[in-house]
Structure 1
Amino acid sequence: MEIVTPKLGLIFWQLVIFLLVLFLLAKFAWKPILVALRDREDSIDNALRMAEQAKLEMQNLKAGNEKLLADARHERDQMLKEGQNIANQLVEKAKTDATEEANRIAQQARESIQQEKNQALAEVRNTAAQLSVDIAERLLRRELADPAAQQKLVDEYLKDVKLN
């Protein structure tokens, strides 16, 4: 039962030892422990603040990246649109140039054909005229071989000619 009910001497010495340990701890260990705890608390606060700042910076960077990405997409779309427009213009210009060239070649061909046709007709006329003259000359030689036939032809021409 002595263990359950301690004596006054034991309580006194326990109290003295407790106060002595408390004094020693307060004198030598309490301040360094408090300083260490305060330093740890400050470092934790700093770490939390830095984490919050990093989080905000990450959000800002993410927003900036999304904006840059949107701008890049817009610029890409704009460049594709411009490229498509330029390609369409080039195709349209090539079609126009080809049509103009085809029309010019066709016109030159028509003119060349017309010139060749005119030359051929002139040649045919010349040949026909030459043949007509040759035929007329042969006929006249045959008919005008006789002086009486010559006089008769002159008289017929004179009858056809009317004098005013």
Structure 2
Amino acid sequence: MDKLINEFSIGLFFWQLVLFIGLVLLLRKFAWKPILDAVEKRESGIEDALKAAENAKAEMANLQADNEKLLKEARAEREAMLKEAREMKTKMIEDAKTEAQEEAGKLVAQAQASIEAERKAAIADLKSQVANLSIDIAEKVVKDELSNKGKQEKLVESLLGNATLN
């Protein structure tokens, strides 16, 4: 450093200063301006990108809100459909029970009517058999009574005696 101060020359300093100022002016005109323009473009690009990111973030929030809304609507619709399906199932079961009870009532009524008809037919058949047996027995008794001529006359007189004339 002492050497620089001892060998200091004003002329050399002047020319170095002129060259430095010229270099600064040239750099300013040809390098700094494009560099500063590039930096400003880069800065505006970054600002635009940040704005676009903010817009995208806001749009994503809106989309997420819309998705939540659609999801809630879908859940509500699903619940409504499940409720309707349960109601339909319950109604179908009740209708089937009612129909089965009505059918069972009809079958019971038919069975009772059939039983009653069979009972009446059995009673009629039994009466017919009793009547036939009674006729057969009476026929045998009368045949036995009428086989003897004396008994026949006695029977006729007894019947005539019991009969009253009008």
Both structures adopt the same fold (TM-score exceeding 0.5): yes
Q: Is 1:150 aligned to 2:156, yes or no?
A: yes
> How many residue pairs get matched?
160
2: CA distance, partners of 1:138 / 1:74: 94
Q: Is 1:33 aligned to 2:72, yes or no?
A: no
Q: Is 1:100 aligned to 2:106, yes or no?
A: no
What residue identity is the alignment partner of 2:36?
A: L
Query: What RMSD in Å do the two structures reach over aligned CA positions?
Result: 2.1
Shift of 1:13: 3.0
Identity over aligned residues, as a percent?
A: 44
Q: 1:71 aligns with which of 70, 73, 85?
A: 73
Shift of 1:7: 4.4
- Inter-CA distance 139–153: structure 2 relative to 1 (3 Å threshold): farther
Match of residue 4 from structure 2 = 3
Shift of 1:79: 1.0
CA deviation digits over 1:14-56, x for unaligned, max 9? 3212211111012212221121112111111110111011001
Shift of 1:8: 3.1
What residue identity is the alignment partner of 2:17?
A: L
Match of residue 15 from structure 2 = 13
CA deviation digits over 1:88-142, x for unaligned, max 9? 1112222222222222112111111111110010011111122222222333333
Match of residue 24 from structure 2 = 22
Shift of 1:86: 1.1
> What TM-score comes out, normalization by structure 1 length?
0.86
Match of residue 134 from structure 1 = 136
Query: Equivalences for 1:37-56 in 2 at 5 Å?
Result: 37-56=39-58
What residue identity is the alignment partner of 1:32?
A: P
1: CA distance, partners of 2:161 / 2:140: 21
Shift of 1:4: 5.3
Q: Which runs of 5+ in 2 are unaligned?
A: none
Q: Which runs of 5+ in 1 are unaligned?
A: none
**Which is further off, 53-62 or 101-110?**
101-110
> What TM-score comes out, normalization by structure 2 length?
0.85
1: CA distance, partners of 2:16 / 2:58: 56
